[in-house]
Amino acid sequence: MTTPAQQTEKALIVQIEPWIDKSELRELERVIDSTFVVEHELTREFECMTEKLTGCNHAIAVCNGTMALFVGLKALGIGPGDEVIVPNFTFIASANAVILAGATPVLCEVREDSFCLDVAKAEQSVTPRTKSVMPVHLYGQSADMDEVMAFAKRHGLSVIEDAAEAIGVRFAGKHVGTFGDVGILSYYGNKTVTCGEGGMVLTNNEPEKLRSRPEGHFCSRIDWVQFLVHGFAGCCGDRPNEEDARHRSQEAGDPRSIRRGVARSAGFPAGLHRFTL
Ligand SMILES: Cc1ncc(COP(=O)(O)O)c(C=O)c1O
């Protein structure tokens, strides 16, 4: 006879099935051996890997993607009285971060072909209070960054890109999150690359304001046990190992592998899309 707990287990539909193998255990051992369970050299190493992957000048690790958005908004000087244009179809953290920064999110329609910000509609959302626009690269689909950057320039707005769901995604050959003034990534458990929890702020501008993390420091720092550097070896192509190879070959015939797939974007020929739940 099955217990109620076993019955529940049978009915469970797993949304997230991280691919964790011995390479993560080895990374965890490095953390434990180093005795640094807070930010230290390994954090910088992870930031450098992100800089290399995305091609941005500065990557700064924080505790999650929401805090990365908050830190980015504060660094851009966004606060009370300001409006930020945010797509009306996204994860709630995009708008929450604007509210946390004391500003007002102004929701804007998305395009039917990409589910990303519709710049033609955004034109109608601009007011004298609009300071910034936040394109979201949703489900691994890039927003049209040519259009977004031209729109921001026309209205003198800063650009903060929410690339929480878009690590490895490119638009016109350039990694998303690196077009605007600030971009962010999330390493939450359902992301293509996960640390369980974690986030990264990306910028090509002067990083000092981001590093000092105004107002957010005590809740924005990352602890090292979060950084199992899960999946990063495969993503950067830096550290191939036997487990990775075995897993990939098993995956080839597995219909679920679509979840880790890469495809040409249907929306924009310029975009490289990466499936993300
Ligand atoms: C589009 C989007 N923005 C922001 C976030 C926030 O990231 P985090 O969960 O790491 O705070 C997420 C994901 O969780 C997301 O999907």
Higher pLDDT pick, 7 / 118: 118
Nearest ligand 1 atom to the CA of 199 is 10
Q: What is the mean pLDDT of residues 121-126?
A: 98
- What residue ranges in 182-260 does DSSP mark as E strands? 182-186, 199-203
Q: What is the 3-state secondary structure (H, E, C) of 138-192?
A: HHHCCCCHHHHHHHHHHHCCEEEEECCCCCCCEECCEECCCCCCEEEEECECCCC
Is 22 exposed, middle or buried, given 0-12, 13-18 or 19+ CB atoms closer than 10 A?
Answer: exposed
| 53 pLDDT tier (thresholds 50, 70, 90) | very high
The confidence score (pLDDT) of residue 241 equals 40
183 lines ligand 1 (CB under 6 A): no
Distance CA 42, CA 69 (A): 23
Backbone angles phi, psi at 160, to 5 degrees: -120, 115
Distance CA 252, CA 134 (A): 36
pTM: 0.82
Nearest ligand 1 atom to the CA of 198 is 10
Q: What is the mean pLDDT of residues 37-60?
A: 88
Is it the case that residue 246 has pLDDT exceeding 60?
no
CATH number of 56-224: 3.40.640.10
Backbone angles phi, psi at 274, to 5 degrees: -130, 120
Gap from CA of 164 to ligand 1 centroid (Å): 5
93 lines ligand 1 (CB under 6 A): yes
The confidence score (pLDDT) of residue 275 equals 58
| 22 pLDDT tier (thresholds 50, 70, 90) | confident
| 6 pLDDT tier (thresholds 50, 70, 90) | low
Higher pLDDT pick, 210 / 199: 199
DSSP H or E run through 84 = strand 83-87
Is it the case that residue 189 has pLDDT exceeding 90?
no
Residue-range domain boundaries for the chain: 56-224
Tokens, residue 183: 């971009």
**Number of alpha carbons in the 13 Å side-chain half-sphere of residue 108:** 29
156-168 pLDDT tens trace: 999 999 999 999 9
**Poorest-confidence range of 56-60, 64-68, 128-132, 218-222?**
218-222
The angle, 0 to 180 degrees and rounded to 10, between the axes of the packed helices 93-100 and 65-75 is 40
Question: Which amino acid is it at 71?
Answer: V
Backbone angles phi, psi at 155, to 5 degrees: -110, 5
| 129 pLDDT tier (thresholds 50, 70, 90) | very high
Q: What is the mean pLDDT of residues 113-124?
A: 96
Q: What angle do CA 161, 165, 171 make, to 5 degrees?
A: 60
Do residues 194 and 230 make contact, with C-beta atoms less than 8 angstroms apart?
yes
Gap from CA of 204 to ligand 1 centroid (Å): 21
Percent of the chain with pLDDT over 70: 71
The confidence score (pLDDT) of residue 264 equals 47
Gap from CA of 226 to ligand 1 centroid (Å): 16
Average pLDDT of the chain is 80
226 lines ligand 1 (CB under 6 A): no
Distance CA 137, CA 61 (A): 20
The confidence score (pLDDT) of residue 33 equals 85
| 223 pLDDT tier (thresholds 50, 70, 90) | low
Q: Which residues are catalytic?
A: 191
Higher pLDDT pick, 138 / 232: 138
Distance CA 213, CA 101 (A): 13
Tokens, residue 161: 């890109």
91 lines ligand 1 (CB under 6 A): yes
Backbone angles phi, psi at 186, to 5 degrees: -120, 145
